[in-house]
Structure 1
């Protein structure tokens, strides 16, 4: 793990210029790093910040604009760092605060922005506030910063209401003194009470701490949580709505959250350099998500409606149109995402039991996503075409949702998020495939032996690899003014099961065609072929089965200069 800045290429000045432009976030490609699974510098089997620093040149060469880091704060790791004990400290498993500072400075030197997670809905039960609240008992002023309540029943033996945890089971845990506290996730993650002024002030301070260190923005975990309905009323239904719900609930997407984000926007706007915030907001509709992005609130929100849409032309066109309309109404960019640390990798989701078909569709879906107006998010490893690891032994799993029996965690997850979190393969032919500094060393989750063919090193040698496709697509996206920018697409007439749209910008035109059927489809050739999802050759090079052209193979996306 000695690689540092040696991979910087000659066009670094161009990359710095791109990073410095205004409105950078409106069409940025942002890469999610899940630190424990990205790269391990010290050989203990757990990814760390020094490992991320060493591999930043990979992201620079890939062609992304920014890096989003999942939590690396001080934490007992009951939920992989989303249970934060100290928001201003780095957990020793990941390194030190000096490492975080070095990471930000090194990324900026490569022209990469840095976005960090912030977790405002809940903290760890080891957080100083919560520990003191427990120690002081009922009546403690610290308990007012959380949701402590007496129970129901003759002896207070029943939870205060019928709310359920996203991870399964009741959303309440009883303390030794008889009171109950709310946790919409694991019992080790008590929810803050955002009706309390001290909670607001604490998070304003946390934001400033990391902004002063130089981060470019925040991904807001459970942004739709925070505020609960007054009185914490029962849901009143047996099958409760979780993160992927489509009904309103008294614990998610309450209107009061918008006052929080107006306050945060004022903090962000006080800093130079267009610092941003991105909402993880699971809302009933994309129109509700757009409310988080009004001009005085947050900048972006993840488009989970798009992520959860299947490989279907009619459904995809509908969600694209609806997403663009909702975001345009508030002047915000649309965002597009196919995978993250909470959902089954899209190469497996789209497979329908056939891994080859899944990878083919995943590549096609990526070119479709990268051609849409707005900002795109990539999850680490998707540039390698990594599939979900579905056969992890139960004894190695660490996802708390698995142990609590949740089936509501994400598309097809059933409490098994570990399958998308397996450490990345970088090089070599044996685990841990360059994840750590020595062959045969540990990794916190085991990697499949077959990943020897999916390493960065192996895909560097293959011009048709998924890695090379991503590099080619991102290079074209940076060069072609019609990619990423804008607010709309111009749909073209196509046979059933096929999507085609035109993008125009700066007197240049691009046509995107996608065959979502299981058969070849004849189409007119709209122009010069730029890139095909079945091949990753540079623009202008022959592309095998696509260049003859009017015949589009199944599960393929093509970019054309028109």
Structure 2
């Protein structure tokens, strides 16, 4: 099987708004990313994934797009984007961008046209508008069905003329009607627009949700993500990606697409990875797994089983802009201080030893924790707002990166500028500058691990073999590489091999608790 660069790539997710602020408006931007490309090259990643930077009111952090063919002025210009692509390629880095095809912003020109047009009009048919249904009391009108929004409350909002529109997420994010050929043609044109500008591929937001059941039937208590249910993983979605794959294949340079696909089983996941559909899908179970050897092994086995029939490579992730940072997830109440850092290093060695590609989330290489104590008035996530403050939302993993200095803005913005989310006062030791020349830092460890993986890559087969291990540990080999992870508290005896990289000092041939080693 031909190995494309993506099968083994390490991709670094850049949350654009929180990466680096070049113009002093308190928000990250494209020129800020451009200025930090040497840092990313030296870290040792192969590619960048940019979260949305398109024109947007930012009702959901840019995942509410008002113009799919332009850069939001707070992030820069199309010229800035072109310069970023050129510079990334000059640094040996590929660049993929987020595309958001399930829904637009309510400020999108099409949705504004829909609101200004009558029911049944072609303008409304680009979205999903429906009449309500009689409520339980006379004169009351209920939404068209019982679908919930992922951000809380119903997935329907009523407009003044009485019709309702569907939004699986925030009310500011109306869902497109993907049964409309005009919508399909529009997104094919959007793909070409960015491919023509040199992007190497796309991360597809809500990839399983584009086509809804035509009847819009009630869930009646069924899970939202049931394969071939009313909302997700409809059979019709696959013809969309077959068409997108043909477009990608028209361009040279191994252009790719990876889908954000949440499914209820490996069989459904595999459908997206057929040779004429997507190149990759995220496998999120490692991101959801507790710190547990049996849990890790179960997740890895299931993920490998899911992709095996397709010939595709698995895709691993520990953290993202949508989840609590794994460093914080690995904390244990009453545990030894710093245990979460030891576990995060061990998890990285496991991640990088697995066959396939790995996606890192900005700041994990600095050992950034989830920020749980953001002031209420600073929070911006629609989950926080729609839950009335009942759920903290995702702002805690989106706090801007600390680059240098000893106080806010820590080099993220020019001195004296307050970042869009406050950066904790205690992060001076976590800055990239503070860690760069500290051999025991998380940043130094990430650099060593990524360099070691790159050195070994050509020798590693695409399969792994499990080794016998104690109940608290995970041992596996890939050709000359053995990975050992001890999730327990007590030391375990290592399998045979010469240590290449360890997360903490060994006791002879004993691997300490909450530690990992690579052996040759």
TM class by shorter chain equals over 0.9
Match of residue 511 from structure 2: 552
1:435 to 412, 426, 436: 412
Distance in 1 between the 2:242 and 2:351 partners? 30
2:406 is paired with a residue whose SS is coil
Match of residue 43 from structure 1: 24
Q: Is the 8 A contact 1:48 1:93 kept in 2?
A: yes
Structure 1 residue 482: Cα displacement: 6.1
Match of residue 271 from structure 1: 251
Structure 1 residue 495: Cα displacement: 1.4
Match of residue 424 from structure 1: 401
Unaligned runs of 5+ in 1: 1-20, 408-412, 535-544
> For each residue in 1:410-449, what CA deviation from the matched residue of structure 2 results, as whole angstroms up to 9, or x when unmatched?
xxx94420000000000000111000122x3210000111
1:187 aligns with 2:171: yes
Q: Is the 8 A contact 2:486 2:514 kept in 1?
A: yes
Q: Is the 8 A contact 2:316 2:359 kept in 1?
A: yes
> For each residue in 1:232-277, what CA deviation from the matched residue of structure 2 results, as whole angstroms up to 9, or x when unmatched?
000011xx635xx567631112121111100100000000001000
1:529 to 488, 496, 499: 499
Q: Is the 8 A contact 2:129 2:165 kept in 1?
A: yes
2:68 is paired with a residue whose SS is strand
Q: Normalising to structure 1: TM-score of the pair?
A: 0.89
Q: Is the 8 A contact 1:72 1:90 kept in 2?
A: yes
Q: Is the 8 A contact 2:226 2:232 kept in 1?
A: no
Q: Is the 8 A contact 2:403 2:410 kept in 1?
A: yes
Matches within 5 A, 1:153-168: 153=134, 155=139, 157-168=141-152
Distance in 2 between the 1:287 and 1:62 partners? 36
Matches within 5 A, 1:70-81: 70-81=51-62
Deviation beyond 6 Å, 4+ runs, structure 1: none
Match of residue 316 from structure 2: 336
Distance in 1 between the 2:515 and 2:502 partners? 7
1:34 aligns with 2:15: yes
1:144 aligns with 2:125: yes
Structure 1 residue 138: Cα displacement: 1.5
Distance in 1 between the 2:458 and 2:61 partners? 39
**C-alpha spacing 1:62/1:144, structure 2 compared with 1 (3 Å):** same
Distance in 1 between the 2:388 and 2:338 partners? 29
1:250 is paired with a residue whose SS is coil
Distance in 2 between the 1:179 and 1:317 partners? 49
1:307 aligns with 2:307: no
2:478 to 494, 500, 503: 503
Distance in 2 between the 1:175 and 1:494 partners? 60
Distance in 2 between the 1:59 and 1:373 partners? 22
Q: Is the 8 A contact 2:476 2:482 kept in 1?
A: yes
Distance in 1 between the 2:82 and 2:248 partners? 19
Distance in 2 between the 1:344 and 1:491 partners? 29
1:288 to 268, 278, 302: 268
2:516 is paired with a residue whose SS is strand
Structure 1 residue 111: Cα displacement: 0.4
> For each residue in 1:133-173, what CA deviation from the matched residue of structure 2 results, as whole angstroms up to 9, or x when unmatched?
10112232111111100001165721000000000000000
**C-alpha spacing 1:108/1:378, structure 2 compared with 1 (3 Å):** same
Distance in 2 between the 1:232 and 1:279 partners? 24
Q: CA RMSD in A?
A: 1.6
Distance in 2 between the 1:236 and 1:140 partners? 30
Match of residue 517 from structure 1: 488
Q: Is the 8 A contact 2:227 2:268 kept in 1?
A: no
1:217 aligns with 2:201: yes
2:417 is paired with a residue whose SS is coil
Match of residue 394 from structure 1: 376
Q: Is the 8 A contact 2:52 2:99 kept in 1?
A: yes
1:458 is paired with a residue whose SS is helix
Match of residue 170 from structure 1: 154
Q: Is the 8 A contact 2:238 2:272 kept in 1?
A: yes
**C-alpha spacing 1:125/1:155, structure 2 compared with 1 (3 Å):** farther
Match of residue 329 from structure 2: 349
> For each residue in 1:7-65, what CA deviation from the matched residue of structure 2 results, as whole angstroms up to 9, or x when unmatched?
xxxxxxxxxxxxxx960000000000000000000111000001000011110000000
Moved more, 25-34 or 129-138: 129-138
> For each residue in 1:111-130, what CA deviation from the matched residue of structure 2 results, as whole angstroms up to 9, or x when unmatched?
00000000000000011111
**C-alpha spacing 1:284/1:179, structure 2 compared with 1 (3 Å):** same
The total of aligned residue pairs comes to: 514
Match of residue 358 from structure 2: 376
2:286 is paired with a residue whose SS is helix
Q: Is the 8 A contact 1:531 1:559 kept in 2?
A: yes
2:192 to 198, 208, 216: 208
Structure 1 residue 287: Cα displacement: 2.8
Match of residue 440 from structure 2: 464
1:298 to 255, 260, 278: 278
Matches within 5 A, 1:470-485: 470-481=446-457, 485=460
1:310 is paired with a residue whose SS is coil
Q: Is the 8 A contact 2:435 2:442 kept in 1?
A: yes
2:112 to 126, 131, 142: 131
> For each residue in 1:154-201, what CA deviation from the matched residue of structure 2 results, as whole angstroms up to 9, or x when unmatched?
657210000000000000000011100000000000000000000000
1:226 aligns with 2:197: no
